[in-house]
């Protein structure tokens, strides 16, 4: 039986219980302990969510919520590694050489020197110009400007992206030139090569 009693200033709560029971002798202590435990405040219950929550569906049956999919593994498998791109090389720009002062009209001229020579390739033209400049103009070391001036005088095509490249190749691959701080000097191997360029009569 419980009773609520109002106080003067606030509310007071009183709960009284009256238990009447007939128990065999020797069991009174056990009953008393049971009654004391029954009136002890119960520990608050903690609700632990189940791994699979069962919720009623529209048909009254329990609907099991599926486990979340493990997408971490799929992500690792489907993500492709970004390709590594190399930085583009800076384009090398080569300036067209400028004409240099050369006495082109005094005999023997370059045209006279090359008249009986085989100048059918670009490399041969370079060799003839370098040999003529050395033997007839006293210019031992030639530069891109010397070759460019000779080509212009002979009306040979100057559509060459890099006038220095053939000189570098003739030095490195054929060893017809020696490099100095003044330019490329034709050596005895190069001069012998030019002598052999003489076309046969007829």
Residue 24 lies in a domain: yes
> What integer pLDDT is reported at residue 36 of this predicted model?
72
Residue 187 lies in a domain: yes
11: containing domain: 2-35
**What number of helices (H) and strands (E) belong to the chain?**
7, 7
Residue 174 lies in a domain: yes
Q: How many domains is the chain partitioned into structurally?
A: 2
Residue 68 lies in a domain: no
Query: With contact defined as beta carbons under 8 Å apart, do 122 and 129 qualify?
Result: no
Q: Residue range 49-63: average pLDDT?
A: 52
Q: What is the pLDDT of residues 108-149, one digit of tens each?
A: 999 999 999 999 999 999 999 999 999 999 999 999 999 999
Among the listed residues 173, 165, 169, the one whose alpha carbon sits nearest the alpha carbon of residue 144: 165
Residue 202 lies in a domain: no
* Predicted structure pTM score: 0.56
How many Cβ atoms sit within 10 Å of the Cβ of residue 153?
16
Structure tokens at 15: 């709960």
Residue 181 lies in a domain: yes
Residue 144 lies in a domain: yes
> What integer pLDDT is reported at residue 23 of this predicted model?
64
Say whether the peptide bond before residue 152 is cis (omega within 30 degrees of 0): no
Q: Which residues, in sequence order, are CB contacts of 151 under 8 Å at separation 6+?
A: 125, 129, 157, 158
How many Cβ atoms sit within 10 Å of the Cβ of residue 169?
14
Q: Which has more confidence, 59 or 164?
A: 164
What's 140's domain CATH number?
A: 1.10.10.10
Residue 159 lies in a domain: yes
> What integer pLDDT is reported at residue 74 of this predicted model?
45
Q: Residue range 171-185: average pLDDT?
A: 97
């Amino acid at each position: 039986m419980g009773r609520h009693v109002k106080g003067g200033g606030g509310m007071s709560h009183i709960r009284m219980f009256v238990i009447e029971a007939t128990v065999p002798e020797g069991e009174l202590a056990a009953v008393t302990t049971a009654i004391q435990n029954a009136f002890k405040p119960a520990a608050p219950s903690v609700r632990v969510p189940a791994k699979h929550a069962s919720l009623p569906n529209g048909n009254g049956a329990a609907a099991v919520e599926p486990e979340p999919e493990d997408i971490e593994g799929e992500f690792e498998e489907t993500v492709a590694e970004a390709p590594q791109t190399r930085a583009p090389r800076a384009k090398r720009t080569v300036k067209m050489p400028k004409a240099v002062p050369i006495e082109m009209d005094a005999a023997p001229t370059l045209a006279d020197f090359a008249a009986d020579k085989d100048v059918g390739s670009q490399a041969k033209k370079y060799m003839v110009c370098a040999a003529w400049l050395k033997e007839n103009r006293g210019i031992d070391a030639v530069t891109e400007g010397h070759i460019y001036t000779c080509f212009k005088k002979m009306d040979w095509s100057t559509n060459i992206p890099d006038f220095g490249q053939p000189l570098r190749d003739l030095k490195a691959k054929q060893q017809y030139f020696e490099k100095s701080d003044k330019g490329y000097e034709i050596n005895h191997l190069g001069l012998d090569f030019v002598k052999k360029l003489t076309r046969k009569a007829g």
